[in-house]
Structure 1
Amino acid sequence: MKSPKSVAKLDELGRVRLSQNFFMRDFLYSEIANLHGIPNIPEDPDLAIEAGARLCQELLEPLNATFGRIAIRSAYRSPTVNQFGNENGHNCASNEANYASHIWDRRDAQGRMGATACIVIPWFSDRYEAGEDWRALAWWIHDHLPYSSLYFFPTRAAFNIAWREEPERRIDSYVAPKGCLTRSGMAGHDGDHSALYQGFPSLVTAIRTA
């Protein structure tokens, strides 16, 4: 598929079904693009679709099936949108750092495909605002899903969740205690952490539909 140059073609891209409950259109909204009039459209739709489908099928669908509806805050960014955000203080990493991350349609420097979305899980957000530790959800995901990286934020316990070939399996946070919670080689990285997320639902396996 070529990068859309018409409303009809963009509409066609938006209708691509990435998984049982998610379509490409769900991931194209951007406050930066909306406010500044910059099209947030993949340059390589086929790669964006392939990476986004893996993100949805392997990570977002199980979360949606287990915890109920999840909210997408930010997901795909075109290189142009991401560069503008990086250069104008909108909390976007450099394009090179976001390849195979928020920029779904570029492989990273090691040639790996990947995709990231920033999401909120309302079921957990309510518990977090009532005092639940963000690390409970982090460890639940760590024990149940093939994520590459997680990065937690203070507002409503929103977090970046990334799928990538050759996953890194690293969790970081801007919420106290800030910094790296776990990465490969750290003490406690492997094993069962279920005592830290008591009261959480059991994983529900989602149907794979593309």
Structure 2
Amino acid sequence: MANLFKHLQWSGMSRSLLLSCVPLMSVTVLACVLAATNYFYRLSPAQEHLAQVEAAYQTTLRAQAALQAKRKTQEEMRTVKLKLDEVWRGLPTETEFASLALAISELGRSERVTIPGMQYAVERSHADGMPVKASISFSVTGEYAAVYRFIHRLESADSYVVIESLNASRTAKSEKGGASSVVFHVTVATFLRPNPTTGSLS
């Protein structure tokens, strides 16, 4: 009987102890729930901030690539402009056209070929300040080797002169019984830049 009483007494104490722990357990569970909620609330802005940083980084990379492409294009345009300026300065002016014809005559004389005369043609440009096309047509008579050297030197000249047409018309027998002479009709063309403007004297 005494043992039964003690058992009931301990059971009552255990129940009382258990009941007293219920509020503590409730507080613990509530604290865990609040901690988890707080963690997820903090995690969501962090993930959003990380996504914003990643988007800003990708935008910066695209902007940098676009800037590099633009800079490369500008450098290429600058190189093209320098080459165009060099070509422009190498073109003869309209007043130098006669000197070009004289240089061709001197070249023929040095190669012992005959150039009896020349015909000139200059196309007018519809736009001011733009180069105009000019051509010189002439006949070259001489031995084949001499005419060949003349044509080769004319083609390899530093000036911007191109052979537009080259036709052999006939072969003439030398009067002295030497080598036969050949006759070529040649047309060379170039572009002339406008004469540089000069200031008027006051």
Greater per-residue helix proportion: 2
Q: Is TM more than 0.5 here?
A: no
Structure 2 length normalisation: TM-score? Answer: 0.20
Whichever structure has more strand as a proportion of its residues is 2
- TM-score normalized by the length of structure 1: 0.19
